[in-house]
A and B are shown apart, each in its own frame.
Chain A
Amino acid sequence: DVKVTQSSRYLVKRTGEKVFLECVQDMDHENMFWYRQDPGLGLRLIYFSYDVKMKEKGDIPEGYSVSREKKERFSLILESASTNQTSMYLCASSFAGTGYYEQYFGPGTRLTVT
């Protein structure tokens, strides 16, 4: 079974703090993704990475950065947390290449910024 794990299930941070969310997958997937999910807005892509040290902006990258130093690990960084970044953050991974490659999600981190 594919396993995607995230460092925290729940996190409470103060405005202005730097926040690190970590994601690890054990299936040697090339692609990894960070999404946020808010009521009524669905899943929105923040960043994705298709290889070590490679990244692409998604739909809402402002206020976020990412790091992928190892294939299995993809980190999301909130440089200076703000209350509008309170959300559910979901990490996902998938194989690359042609064919039918599903995306697998971690359990999510529910972040509250006060």
Chain B
Amino acid sequence: RKEVEQDPGPFNVPEGATVAFNCTYSNSASQSFFWYRQDCRKEPKLLMSVYSSGNEDGRFTAQLNRASQYISLLIRDSKLSDSATYLCVVNIGNYGQNFVFGPGTRLSVLP
């Protein structure tokens, strides 16, 4: 079983739709959680850190369920510019040294 798993995708949604991505992790020593977006042939860029109480940034909402070892990302009112691959990332242990990346879920927002 992979340490971090994500919805296989791709997701093709119309503009304005709401889309949700799921991620599960297997290591209970995971301490911190992140969503990154990666555009084609570019570097991953931090989208959101995922806090235990859940957090929201504009159209984006992230949730964490430690008991179920599950993380989600909700995008409301999708824009064409949201088209990208979304990476779920887990930091295991302390000291910011062990980041485990999910395989990514590709999103295409269609006009």
Contact = CB atoms under 8 A, between A and B. Distances in A.
Interface of A: 30-31, 33, 42-43, 45, 48, 50, 56, 88, 90, 92, 94-108, 110
B45 A105 contact: yes
Nearest to B48: A102
A48 B34 contact: no
A100 to B, nearest CB: 5
B1 interface: no
A87 B9 CA distance: 23
B46 A43 contact: no
A102 B43 contact: no
B46 A95 contact: no
Nearest to B95: A96
Contacts, number: 60
Nearest to B93: A98
Contacts of A94: 96-97, 99
Given A43-B87, A98-B94, 12 more contacts: A30-B96, A31-B95, A31-B97, A33-B99, A42-B104, A50-B95, A90-B43, A100-B49, A102-B34, A105-B43, A105-B44, A108-B43
